[in-house]
């Protein structure tokens, strides 16, 4: 009976999905589910849904809800992290202040000024959690879902002894998109993917031993297909590989697509010519915040059931608990040189073999030079940003933002310096002190 702790369980929709995933496996249906959040009302809602799942499905699982993090972690086998630190105000600052300087972030939670400042306000809480894990459940596997994935995982690798992996659904979602473009069943695709989170690359793409890249290149010549994924098809055309994040999101990782209004409109198709798609995740998150503050489950608890989503966490736990071999793309330390031409202290997203022995990153060798170049630049940004957070180093923070590809394409160095100082002032209440 594994004990599985969810930190940030007040994120009811996502927590509900992950709890249902766990309980969908008979071998995990007697798990002890521990839910922790600092928001008692949202925590209570998630707990009621989890209890309804157990009752309606006749399962042997137990559910504990608590605002005491150490109680939730005591003796846990697995810890799933899905926290949000700071809420709406700093997030809006991280989008709108750079926007005034011409930095048009699409999502702004994993890269760019928005991702860097989100990391700065989240890392101290992550390290607090890690200290509790080290004392309360030192052998637990810590599975991180919180963004910015690469920076938070890197901080955990550098500053803690907690075994940490980062989970992101961009690889299976990209495989689903490719299968759709090629009109083939997704479960018939074979692929080998590696890089960093949101900038990993389909190095091999096959079906029954046949290379599917020629068919994908042919598919993108159809205008209706091309318009569905413009940025990724442009990267395929110019650099030879398909990347693992949506065109909208990955556009902010690159210097080519978000510095001119005409290019933004052209790359994002119909409906965007009148309104440039900047800060769309912020706008959606803000719109959803009102519903998060209202009761949402009163009428449907007797209908709550268990379903399995595409998320990795439950399958990873099941593989370890039942010694069932599976392969996942996970965010892990490159200390084993899984990607030979990226730094060995980087957080990389690579295929990992998982079974009863745990998580083992696979060796990928070297990425093609041109693909490694994109990843190395972000790895350098992440290193500086994490060091800035761990060392309270203001100068490293400035250099991290100045190295960001989108920011440096849009602004002068002096403008970036001024923008960073403005962000520090605006989000002062949410940040550690910087020297």
Cβ distance 419 to 101 under 8 Å? yes
Cβ distance 422 to 93 under 8 Å? no
pTM for this predicted structure: 0.94
User: Which of these, 122, 126, 5, 144, lies nearest to 63 by C-alpha position?
Assistant: 5
Where b means 16+ CB within 10 Å and e means fewer, 379-399 reads bbbbbbbbbbbbeebeebbbb
Decide if 249 is catalytic. Answer: no
pLDDT of residue 293: 47
Tell me the mean pLDDT per 10 residues along the chain, length 435.
95 87 96 97 92 94 98 98 94 96 95 98 98 98 98 98 97 97 97 98 98 98 94 97 95 94 75 51 65 54 84 96 98 98 98 98 98 98 98 98 98 98 97 90
pLDDT of residue 278: 74
pLDDT of residue 271: 41
pLDDT of residue 272: 40
pLDDT of residue 305: 84
Superfamily of domain 3-87+108-168 in CATH is: NAD(P)-binding Rossmann-like Domain (3.40.50.720)
CA pair distance 62, 261, nearest whole angstrom: 53
Tokens of 379: 């790895």
Cis amide bond preceding 148, omega within 30: yes
CA pair distance 258, 187, nearest whole angstrom: 34
Q: Can you spell out the DSSP letters for 38-81?
A: S-HHHHHHHHHHHHHHHHHHT---EEEEES-HHHHHTT-SEEEE
The domains of the chain are located at 3-87+108-168
**Residue in the structure block whose two tokens are 């990795």:** 312
CA pair distance 143, 262, nearest whole angstrom: 40
């Amino acid at each position: 009976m594994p004990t599985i702790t969810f930190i940030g369980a007040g994120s009811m929709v996502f927590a509900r999905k992950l709890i249902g995933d766990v309980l969908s496996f008979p071998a995990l249906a007697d798990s002890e589910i521990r839910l922790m959040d600092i928001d008692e009302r949202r925590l209570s809602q998630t707990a009621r849904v989890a209890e309804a799942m157990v009752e309606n499905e006749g399962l042997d699982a137990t559910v504990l809800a608590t605002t005491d993090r150490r109680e939730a972690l005591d003796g846990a086998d697995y810890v799933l992290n899905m926290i949000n630190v700071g809420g709406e105000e700093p997030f809006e600052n991280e989008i709108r202040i750079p926007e005034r300087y011409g930095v048009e972030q699409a999502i702004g939670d994993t890269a760019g000024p928005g991702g860097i400042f989100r990391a700065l306000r989240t890392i101290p809480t992550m390290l607090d959690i890690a200290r509790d894990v080290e004392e309360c459940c030192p052998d637990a596997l810590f599975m991180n879902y919180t963004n910015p994935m690469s920076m938070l995982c890197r901080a955990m690798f550098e500053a803690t002894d907690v075994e940490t992996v980062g989970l992101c659904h961009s690889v299976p979602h990209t495989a689903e998109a490719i299968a759709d473009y090629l009109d083939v069943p997704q479960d018939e695709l074979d692929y080998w993917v590696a890089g960093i989170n949101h900038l990993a690359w389909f190095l091999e793409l096959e079906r029954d031993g046949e290379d599917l890249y020629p068919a994908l290149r042919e598919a993108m010549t159809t205008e209706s297909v091309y318009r569905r994924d413009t940025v990724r098809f442009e990267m395929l055309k110019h650099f030879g590989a398909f990347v693992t994040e949506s065109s909208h999101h990955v556009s902010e990782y690159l210097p080519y697509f978000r510095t001119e209004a005409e290019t933004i409109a052209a790359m994002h198709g119909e409906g965007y010519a009148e309104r440039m798609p900047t800060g769309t995740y912020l706008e959606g998150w803000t719109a959803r915040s009102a519903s998060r503050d209202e009761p949402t489950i009163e009428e449907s608890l007797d209908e709550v059931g268990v379903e399995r989503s595409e998320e990795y966490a439950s399958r990873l736990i099941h593989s370890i608990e039942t010694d069932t071999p599976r392969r996942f793309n996970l965010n892990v330390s490159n200390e084993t040189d899984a990607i030979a031409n990226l730094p060995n202290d980087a957080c990389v997203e690579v295929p990992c073999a998982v079974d009863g022995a745990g998580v083992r990153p696979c060796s990928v060798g070297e990425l093609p030079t041109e693909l490694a170049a994109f990843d190395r630049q972000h790895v350098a940004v992440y290193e500086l940003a994490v060091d800035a957070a761990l060392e309270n180093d203001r100068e490293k923070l400035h250099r991290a933002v100045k190295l960001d590809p989108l920011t440096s394409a849009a602004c002068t160095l002096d403008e970036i310096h001024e923008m960073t100082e403005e962000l520090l002032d605006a989000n002062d209440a949410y940040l550690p002190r910087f020297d």
